[in-house]
Amino acid sequence: MIRTLQNTIKQDKECFAVPKSVQEAIPIHRLWPDGIFQFGTKYSKTIRFSDINYAIASKEDKTSMFLGYSELLNALDTGSTTKITINNKRLNRENFQREILLPRQDDYLDGYRAEYNAMLMDKVTDSSNSVVQERYITLSVHRKSIEEARTFFDRVTADVTSRLNHLDSHCEELDAVERLRVLHDFYRTGEETEYHLSLRDCMRKGVSFKDAICPDSLEFKRDHFRMGEKYGRVLFLKEYASYIKDSMINELTALNRTMMLSLDVIPVPTDEAVREMQSRLLGVETNVTNWQRRQNSNSNFSAVVPYDLEQQRKETREMLDDLTTRDQRMMFAVVTLVHLADSKE
């Protein structure tokens, strides 16, 4: 196993303790008003970003966007992990009416405003339009103190934000209250308007912030969990194809469901990745040589190398060339999907 992956698994491993309350099941140990959360020795920071018009862009613009996104991934720090999250949640009607609909002005245009608002409400009432998407990038790093973590996030978040801006994506760093709002809306689906949290009041009264966001109950079964009145299941992509189309994530998140899809990315240092690919290439060449020796021992001197061995050799050489001559990066990635429903069926 590659050393980077071994170190990540070792650092993230914590002693499991059976939670005695729903609050203890939320693994946030400390937080700061600027939005930094602590989990053990790990600190994290979240950026919310907007979508871009990739699907309807021209071929040249798509190429430019893809290269810009590749530069963003290549710029990720090798000592940290990155989670890209797409959150599908139900549109809250009260928030929609307060933030989107046109208010009355008590003039002769109120009739047009009422007609316009009715059209919008009809669209929102349709189940296919009742799901809204929010997108986040969460950066996590192991540091000895909050000062070191804050220095790291000041540098990395500025770089990520500038690269997202180059893709014409509007982004903003979330403070502690906004990050807790995301968790509250997930844990307490349908109660979004009841979120009211003041960190100052929590500190003054000695109340835990977890009391304001935790669900009423949390129960884990063999193949699902129950959170309050909701049922949920966590899925992950186990088998990856050699090439995955860019539309796969879009098709998954286009489902009219309450879900949260995450892509966890662990960058590997270039020198370590090159050594790993050289070792793999050496193993493939050894297998090819051993196969040819067996054929020669059977007096078969004109046999063609099997297709699977030839493909392994070709793909390994291409990846080694990407790392050494095209300034590409090796990354580990996993796709996780959390799905919530009103009933187990």
**SS3 letters for 223-247?**
CCEEECCEEEEEEECCCCCCCCCCH
Mean pLDDT of 208-220: 90
Is residue 300 scored above 80 in pLDDT?
Answer: no
What pLDDT, on a 0 to 100 scale, did the predictor assign at position 38? Answer: 93
Q: What confidence tens digit (pLDDT) does each residue in 91-122 have?
A: 666 666 666 778 888 888 888 888 888 877 77
Instruction: Give the SS3 label for residue 271.
Output: helix
Q: Using CA atoms, how far apart are residues 78 and 16, in angstroms rounded to an integer?
A: 27
Torsion 44-46-52-55 (CA) sign = positive
Quote the percentage of the chain above a pLDDT of 70.
Answer: 94
Tens of pLDDT, residues 39-54: 888 999 999 999 888 8
**Within 13 A of 165's CA, how many CA atoms are on the CB side?**
7
pLDDT given for residue 338 in this prediction: 93
CA distance 8 to 273: 15
* First-to-last C-alpha distance (Å) of the chain: 40
Tokens of residue 319, six digits: 């990846």
Average pLDDT, the chain: 86
Residue 132 has a pLDDT of 79
Give domain limits for the chain: 3-11+20-91+130-267+334-341
Q: Is the model's pLDDT at 231 over the cut of 90?
A: yes
241 vs 169, residue with greater confidence: 169
In 10 A of CB 296, how many CB atoms?
A: 11
Residue tagged 């997202």 (tokens): 164
To the nearest 10°, the Cα dihedral for 336, 254, 184, 159? 70
Q: How far apart are CA 31 and CA 39, in angstroms?
A: 9
- Strand 131-142 to strand 80-90: parallel, antiparallel, or no bridges (unpaired)? antiparallel
Q: What is the pLDDT of residues 129-150, one digit of tens each?
A: 567 789 999 999 999 999 999 9
Specify the pTM: 0.82
Burial category of 97 from C-beta neighbours within 10 Å (exposed 0-12, middle 13-18, buried 19 and up): middle
Per-residue model confidence (pLDDT) at position 47: 94
| pLDDT at residue number 149 | 92
